[in-house]
Amino acid sequence: MSQARVLSAQELRKVLDHVATRRHSARNRVMLLLTHYAGMRVAEVAALRVNDVLNDSGTIKPEIRLMPDQTKGKHARTVYLNERMQKELAQYTRLLKINDASKPLFYTQKKDGFSANSLTQYFFYLYRAVGLEGCSSHSGRRSFLTGLANRGIAIHLLKSLAGHRNISTTATYLYSSPDQLKAAVELA
């Protein structure tokens, strides 16, 4: 099976424009952007609780502390939120009627929290509806890491941001376009 496609900024915009025309657009926008702006896995997004992102004062935390039961490798990790993501979360949480901060941050139409599988399926059909071939629930995470690598962020920092235990795992996420490879050999 090939790796999930890395999206360009224009392709992400196309997906966000589509999301804006659909039901539950605020929720779906934030779920998508957590993968693209914070590099979160879909299962991590599905596992989020209100109190993972909100302080007691109702403000957005600058980082999310994921507990072992919320992560793939069962190792706690910190997800850092840039200002754009914090603003997106603030807009979304203002729409919520929060009675219990320990409840899921994202609800399905049946008023249950998303499972990792149901959110994976949502992303599959979302990308398909926009006409983006090769995209999956992992496209946001790969796009996040590749984008940072292309801006010169060191791989050991990418490893930490991804929550990987080994740099070799992180390296498999990074996409090199033919134009980048051509430019690299010109430096020799």
Per-residue pLDDT 10s for the chain (188 aa) are 578 999 999 999 999 999 999 999 999 999 999 999 999 999 999 999 999 999 999 999 999 999 999 998 889 999 999 999 999 999 999 998 888 899 999 988 877 889 999 999 999 999 999 999 999 999 999 999 999 998 889 999 999 999 999 999 888 888 777 877 788 788 87
pLDDT at 176: 77
Distance, CA of 172 to chain centre: 17
How much is the pLDDT for 114?
A: 93
Based on the fold, state whether residues 78 and 146 are members of the same structural domain.
no
* Token pair in block for residue 55: 């302080």
Judgement on whether residues 35 and 60 belong to the same structural domain of the protein: yes
Q: Which residue has the tokens 């993972």?
A: 52
Helix, coil or strand: residue 141: helix
Whole-structure pTM over 0.85, yes or no?
yes
CATH number of the domain within which 105 lies = 1.10.443.10
Domain that holds residue 79: 9-132
21 and 81 share one domain: yes
Per residue, the 3-state secondary structure of 170-187, as one string, reads: HHCCCCCCHHHHHHHHHC
